[in-house]
Amino acid sequence: MNEEKPAIDPDLLDILVCPITRTQLIHDVDAQELISEAAGLAYPIRDGIPVMLVEEARKY
């Protein structure tokens, strides 16, 4: 069974930045995360919605 991952609007990805560093994020489609290399954090994407809370991010 092929489980489709919810898509994120490309325009939204263009404007989202890391809440700590204000730098651009990298979209990891397979892990369903937005990665901030500058902060060393990966923010989860749940049901197609980015969770941009530092408390919810994992160390990358």
For 32, the token pair is 């369903």
In the prediction, which pLDDT does 7 show? Answer: 78
In the prediction, which pLDDT does 2 show? Answer: 53
As beta bridge partners, residue 35 has 26, 42
In the prediction, which pLDDT does 25 show? Answer: 97
Q: Which of 32, 31, 34, 42 has its CA nearest to residue 14?
A: 34
- Express each pLDDT in 2-60 by its tens digit: 566 777 888 999 999 999 999 999 999 999 999 999 999 999 999 989 999 999 999 99
- Assess contact for 28 and 42: CB atoms under 8 A: yes
Percent of the chain with pLDDT over 90: 82
Return the C-alpha torsion angle 13, 39, 32, 9, nearest 10: -10
In the prediction, which pLDDT does 33 show? Answer: 97
Measured CA to CA, the distance from residue 27 to residue 43 in angstroms comes to 10
